[in-house]
Amino acid sequence: MGSESRNRYLLKNTLIFTLGNIGSRMISFFLIPLYTNVLTTSQYGAVDLITTISTVAGPMLTLNIAESVMRFGLDKDADKEKNTQCGSIVLLIAMIIGLVLIPICRCIAEVSGYAMYVYFYVISLSASQLFLCDLRGKELLLKYSLGNILQTLMIAILNITFLLVFKMETGGYLLAYIIANFIVAIYAIIAGKGYKAFSFHNIDRCKLKEMIRYSVVLIPNTFMWWIMNSSDRVMVTYMIGAAANGNYAVSYKLPTLVSTLTGIFNQAWSYSAIREEGTSDETEYNNKMFKTLSAIAFMMGIGLLLLTKPFLRVYVADSYYDAWKYTPFLIVGCVYLTLGTFMATSYTVHKDSFGYLFSGSFGAVFNILLNFILIPVIGVYGAALATCISYIAVFMFRVFHTRKYIKYDILYKEFILGSLLMILSAILMFADGVKGFLLQFIVLVLGFVVFSKTWIPILQFFLNKIRRKRVI
């Protein structure tokens, strides 16, 4: 594949994923003021705990089969209908086994009143993820992006209805997600013609075993990532209280923008990386894309660090404003996690489930140990710091572990300077008043200078595109 065509392919997929993710994430982002004004910190903390538990239960029940449906669908000789059939069978079995969640949840005080909600949340989320991944495996990326937008629109409409009109509080929040997930699952089934695979006849048992063998290794990996990404909120809830977790949950919202926006690129890159496997300049091209992503991620991190305090002042209720104190640690961590996620594409390309497992396990164990050490000493700060350090640790682990596939270069000048500038900006957040803000702004300007070799060509590229369209 030529340089221009490979870049065009990557750009096309990036724009498609942008369509689906930006719209949906923006809507989700601007729903936070609704949640923080309608729900108390304790209620929001409880909701966050329920959704956190649910997001790990789904992949465990379904054996992470959605990941297999997506990855096996991208093989050149893939029988996509058989992939969908295998995924659907596993989902059906999960719906039956998942009924055990109801009595289990009733034994847990914090979620006992929402046991049925938890079950349907898990099943609806699993169904929507499976059939959206089916669209990705069939490379129906535009339909996939439209599915994401539909899901978020439904969540927004239903949350406004249930929380503001019917005053349903926690139950309304969960019900909105459940209904939205089921609607999107139905949409994806129709859009990808997945219904053609709904049959128990002619099941390819070898294919089913192969897909499960790939995805089952990802179950402990999913659990490990849940530990690293979410266990801190569970521990904060039980060690400090639901109200503290409510604030901490809000502090995650801005850092998530980094992983969301850069995740768009990573989603598109996975398709390019599979196509690039075995090419003569594979390593060179991978490193070129890594440097581009690094520049974008560092600049986003520095920019968000600058805007966090003034934004939260108008974005959330006053009782949630203290969330800014934990945000710097999480933003820094999310930047390095983004870069580690890019490297993990090598695992996807080579169907190396164990690579995900080893790196995820390393980060999870590290995170748990740090949480146990730091939370009793410095409270919520300890949870944020533990998350930051574990994200960086995973990034460093993957730098070395993925060398058997691609040797990534991180010792170049821009990467080192970008790291230092971002950490400096995080420290300056704790400086008082206008002085701290101005110093952060200077750091942002320096960032633009450091990464000028990256953003100037990108800007010129889009300006040339605009000029050509005007001429035409």
pLDDT tens track for 356-379: 788 888 888 888 899 889 988 888
**b vs e for 415-425, b when ≥16 Cβ sit within 10 Å of the residue's Cβ?**
bebbbebbbbb
pTM tops 0.75, yes or no: no
Cα–Cα distance for residue pair 51/154, rounded to 1 Å: 17
Distance of CA 262 to the CA centre of its chain: 10
Give the mean model confidence (pLDDT) for residues 399-421.
Answer: 90
pLDDT above 90 (res 126): yes
Helix, strand and coil percent figures for the chain, each rounded to 5 = 85, 0, 15
Cα–Cα distance for residue pair 371/172, rounded to 1 Å: 32
- Predicted local confidence at residue 24, as pLDDT: 64
Q: How many residues does the chain have?
A: 472
Cα–Cα distance for residue pair 86/197, rounded to 1 Å: 9
Do residues 32 and 316 lie in contact, with contact meaning Cβ atoms separated by under 8 Å? Answer: yes
- Cβ burial, residue 360 (10 Å; 0-12/13-18/19+): buried
Share above pLDDT 90 across residues of the chain, in percent, rounded to a whole number: 23
**Stretch (H or E) spanning 28:** helix 3-29
Tell which residue, 306, 346, 255, has the closest CA to residue 426: 306
Sign of the Cα torsion 420, 425, 429, 434 reads: positive
Query: What is the Rg, in whole angstroms, of the alpha carbon atoms belonging to the chain?
Result: 22
Residue scoring higher pLDDT (308 or 244): 308
Both tokens of 125, joined, read 């989320």
Cα–Cα distance for residue pair 177/95, rounded to 1 Å: 17
pLDDT tens track for 107-123: 877 677 888 888 999 99
- Predicted local confidence at residue 277, as pLDDT: 79
Cα–Cα distance for residue pair 253/243, rounded to 1 Å: 16
Cα–Cα distance for residue pair 274/123, rounded to 1 Å: 30
Average model confidence (pLDDT) for the chain?
83
Residue scoring higher pLDDT (78 or 301): 301
Do residues 250 and 32 lie in contact, with contact meaning Cβ atoms separated by under 8 Å? Answer: yes
Tell which residue, 111, 132, 146, has the closest CA to residue 181: 132
pLDDT band, very low/low/confident/very high, at 94 (cuts 50, 70, 90): very high
Tell which residue, 337, 338, 332, has the closest CA to residue 265: 338
pLDDT tens track for 201-240: 778 888 888 888 888 877 777 777 777 777 777 777 777 7
Cα–Cα distance for residue pair 173/180, rounded to 1 Å: 11
Phi, psi of 162 (to 5 degrees): -75, -35
Phi, psi of 432 (to 5 degrees): -80, 145
Dihedral class, residue 432 (left if φ above 0, else alpha if ψ from -120 to 50, else beta): beta
- Cβ burial, residue 173 (10 Å; 0-12/13-18/19+): buried
Residues 6+ apart with CB under 8 A from 251: 323, 324, 325, 326, 327, 330, 384
- Predicted local confidence at residue 122, as pLDDT: 92
DSSP 162: I
Both tokens of 60, joined, read 């465990």
Cα–Cα distance for residue pair 60/138, rounded to 1 Å: 24
Does residue 276 sit in helix, strand or coil? helix
Sign of the Cα torsion 441, 445, 448, 449 reads: negative
pLDDT above 80 (res 142): yes
- Predicted local confidence at residue 43, as pLDDT: 76
Residue scoring higher pLDDT (241 or 182): 182
Distance of CA 108 to the CA centre of its chain: 27
Tell which residue, 92, 97, 450, 29, has the closest CA to residue 259: 29
Cα–Cα distance for residue pair 327/273, rounded to 1 Å: 32
Cα–Cα distance for residue pair 220/226, rounded to 1 Å: 10
Residue scoring higher pLDDT (446 or 454): 446
Cα–Cα distance for residue pair 248/262, rounded to 1 Å: 22
